[in-house]
Structure 1
């Protein structure tokens, strides 16, 4: 992947430029209810399980690559890596880690979403600096794209190793449903709205939305606001600029959301449909919906649940343009990557260091690619093109993701990974409540101004 990085840090905000892609993240702090500042100073915790390193993985289909990595590692290691499956909801997963850190039952290795996600845990001494690991094995850093790796470098200390793919969000489509109704994937907002009526008349839910989980609903706001205001303005709002949320562009984006819900583009009961329980997966793969807005990880989820659908009828397309907005063409939103972090009091740091080497191994990267994830490594593109085991559809999908990221003028980190931790629930509540009509635009604007104000503190 041909990418170039420039990085600057200022007032807890990070800006990364990657082949013309701007990624802006305001501070989001992962609290550490169970941890204490003495974790790092105290060294290894001998009360942790003997001859075991526990890795808490995210509870989705992509975790199969991490299990395979552990199985390979355990073939030659006396200390065994044990894979523990966590929640498939980001907030639930983060809460479990936050509660466990500093206790004997805490995972030795856990996943995070960026520097802001671990800042408080780092400040309290609950997360191990990986600088010594990197000094002993420089490939733990040099194997990864600097734009991705440097996200979890804080005050010169590296705390995370990238372990999943670059994850922009875009529309997944059921090509058969579209074709059966004389349609092609919408490229403009007006086309999407026109298709809504056609699909409803055919008895198809136009867009599958896991409203019960709330964070999928947020994705629609991220793109409506990117198109109407532009990601640079959105980043200012998330950093505490109240005027962004009350601007004409903001109100236009809210009108776009309201139009979709008013037209029942998501169906009449989207608040009761889940993503984490494969509800939207079933709707899209079984031909009951035509579209789903989701991140790159959805390919692995769909492939695990409905491989025949992925092989024959799955499509994908960039989010439609919206006429008259101030956003730049091609702006995207989503997640930069996920990272493995290490508890400061892990009992077997040398074993952890050696296991982390799996994250840049060809076997692990090929497993990620096979799942539809685009690894954030310097050799990812070469591996994709050279791997004869990757089917044509998967290569086409990964090429689409490459192009989407490389051609994007800006890349906004997901809102719930950008606002302060204390505001995350309020944010997802606000986006859900406006979408289902529980609050009006004025209340939504007020809520956003209030919950993002903490970012300036």
Structure 2
């Protein structure tokens, strides 16, 4: 969504031996590193294809290399690329698709944006193609297909990288109260007064940014009711926000607020400034629910917090009696490439050949891992042994295992929903955390925009 700024959901720089794990990809697609856009490379033929994507390091160079490998191997069917800055891309692609003039290959974030393309009959149904390319499909994390699927059909290929939301914690803070990391929601609530008694905030939270609050609800909805609760909302089921599991999740998060579970003044703290991360690595807060993209900044800005072994991390714990599988995660399951339904048969075949041979090939997987990211394929595991820094290696293995083993990987809600519904969501989430709306009022406000 547009309201989210450039620093959000990015892997920031951290070093892993000579390979240099560099700045990574925007994790939710709402922003990214900006550089000059609108440039084009390559040539076209009658059976070639066009491909639009975002600028910014390191992803731009990796995508360029993918196209070059394809063009070098297919002299008669070249792919022409056009590159845009983030905001320009979102405007251009929307206009082009609306006019039936989309590029052959449509880069995107899946979810609500993809659903709008499907509803307008602008993208190809790839379900049958994946059926014919079972080896390719089976090599991709199964959970990555959720945001590529609309009404049980696949309309995009998951590509590039995965970034789950993680429960980070400061091992030093737990030592101060003589406790272990939480294994359940009940443990979390029991830890809150213990940290407060020691003058340590239980959780850091950049609540002014709103989307940071959303991550709590994403996990609680899943852990209490399972992924079908939000899936019903995404599918436009009337009164979906009033599901009993949803009301319980909304109530639980307000219980945490009322128990002083978050840092004092969290509603005025921004995530864009990384102030919430600083509260964790300086020992002012014991825990933080945040995206995997924060690891790099905590390593470079947190002194010996990472290098000294003080950082702990885990998947969100289960809720007692909840239906959600504890392996489930939320965040950004991948990025996505669709094929325009308006392309010629020759262009579509070129695009499918590129998808099959050049987007998740060995060279691409190697490049993503070297950039400090986990690509959406099972073969990435084999690359992690080359990471020389032991902290980085352990971290990347954790991200891999979380993504690969998730029975469900829910896409961030503000990306899964339409822009209008997402803005209403973020506004109401802020009110929920400020205790200015009740869980039932929240549900009623959100039910009013289901399907819009």
Same fold, judged at TM 0.5 (above): yes
Cα 1:184–1:165 change in 2 (3 A) is farther
Q: Is the contact between residue 67 and residue 83 of structure 1 (CA under 8 Å) also seen in structure 2?
A: no
Aligned: 1:289 with 2:285: yes
Show the counterpart of 1:20.
none
- Paired residue secondary structure (2:436): coil
Aligned to 2:426: 428
Distance in 1 separating the partners of 2:183 and 2:278: 24
Give the alignment partner of residue 315 of structure 1, picking from 296, 299, 312: 312
Q: Contact (CA 8 Å) 2:41, 2:81: kept in 1 or not?
A: no
| 8 Å CA contact 1:69, 1:358 repeated in 2 | no
Distance in 2 between the 1:93 and 1:439 partners? 36
- Give the C-alpha shift of residue 318 in structure 1: 1.9
Q: In the alignment, which residue of structure 1 is the partner of 2:336? A: 339
Q: Specify whether residues 214 and 140 from structure 1 end up closer, same or farther in structure 2 by C-alpha distance, changes over 3 A only.
A: same
Unaligned 5+ segments in structure 2 are 1-28, 30-37, 44-49, 73-77
* Match status 1:381 vs 2:417: no
Of 200, 212, 232, which residue of structure 2 is paired with 1:236? Answer: 232
Equivalent residue, structure 1, for 2:368: 368
Maintained 8 Å contact 1:296/1:372: no
| 2:58 counterpart of 1:64 | yes
Aligned residue number for residue 444 of structure 2: 446
CA distance in 1, matches of 2:352, 2:300: 30
Determine if the alignment matches structure 1 residue 391 to structure 2 residue 389. Answer: yes
Contact 1:187–1:318, Cα closer than 8 Å, also in 2: no
Change (3 A) 1:359 1:157: same
Task: Give the SS at the match of 1:265.
Answer: coil
Three-state SS of the structure 2 residue aligned to 1:268 is coil
Change (3 A) 1:148 1:192: closer
Aligned to 1:162: 158
Q: What is the rounded CA distance, in whole Å, between the counterparts of 1:120 and 1:65 in structure 2?
A: 25
Higher alpha-carbon deviation: 78-87 or 407-416: 78-87
Q: Deviations over 1:284-319 (max 9, x none)?
A: 333333222123333345446558533332221121
Helix, strand or coil for the counterpart of 1:166? strand
Mapped pair 1:221 → 2:234:
no
Q: Equivalents in 1 of 2:364, 2:233: separation in Å?
A: 38
Match of 1:17 in 2: none
Give deviations 1:118-170, integer Å, cap 9, x for gaps.
24346668768999x99xx9998786456646854779998644333333323
Question: Conserved in 2, the CA contact under 8 Å of 1:166 and 1:337?
Answer: yes
Partner-residue secondary structure (3-state), 1:162: strand
Q: 1-side partners of 2:337 and 2:235: how far apart?
A: 26
Cα RMSD (Å) of the superposition?
A: 4.7
Change (3 A) 1:86 1:377: same
Residue number in structure 2 paired with 1:275 = 271
Counterparts of 1:58 and 1:259, CA distance in 2: 43
User: Which sections of structure 1, spanning at least 5 residues, go unmatched?
Assistant: 1-29, 31-46
List per-residue Cα deviations over 1:318-377 (Å, max 9, x = no partner).
21232244444444333321124578999xx89999987653244442343355533222
More off after superposition, 318-327 vs 431-440: 318-327
Q: How does 1:346-357 map to 2 (within 5 A)?
A: none
Cross-structure match for 1:190? 186
Q: 1:124 to 1:252 in 2, by over 3 A?
A: closer
Contact 2:208 2:266 in 1 (8 A): yes
Whether the aligned pair in 2 keeps the contact of 1:143 and 1:360 (CA below 8 Å) is no
Post-superposition offset of 1:263: 2.6
Q: CA deviation at 1:71?
A: 6.8
Q: Alignment partner of 1:207: what SS?
A: strand
Whole-Å separation in 1 of the counterparts to 2:402 and 2:337: 25
Give CA deviations for 1:434-455 in whole Å, capped at 9, x if unaligned. 1112322221120122222x27
Who is 2:260 aligned against? 264
- Deviations, residues 149-197 of structure 1 (Å, cap 9, x unaligned): 6854779998644333333323022223333443432222232223333
Partner SS for 1:297: helix
| TM-superposed deviation, 1:265 | 2.1
Structure 2 residue 94 is the aligned partner of structure 1 residue 98: yes
* Aligned equivalent of 1:13: none
User: Cα deviation per residue 1:368-407 (whole Å; 9 max; x = unaligned)?
Assistant: 33555332224222223xx323433333333334444455
TM-score, normalised by the number of residues in structure 1: 0.68
Pairing 1:86-235 to 2, within 5 Å after superposition: 86=86, 94=90, 98=94, 111-114=107-110, 116-121=112-117, 144-145=140-141, 148=144, 152=148, 160-235=156-231
Would the alpha carbon gap of residues 51 and 165 (structure 1) be closer, same or farther in structure 2, given more than 3 Å must change?
A: closer
Cα deviation, residue 114, structure 1: 1.6
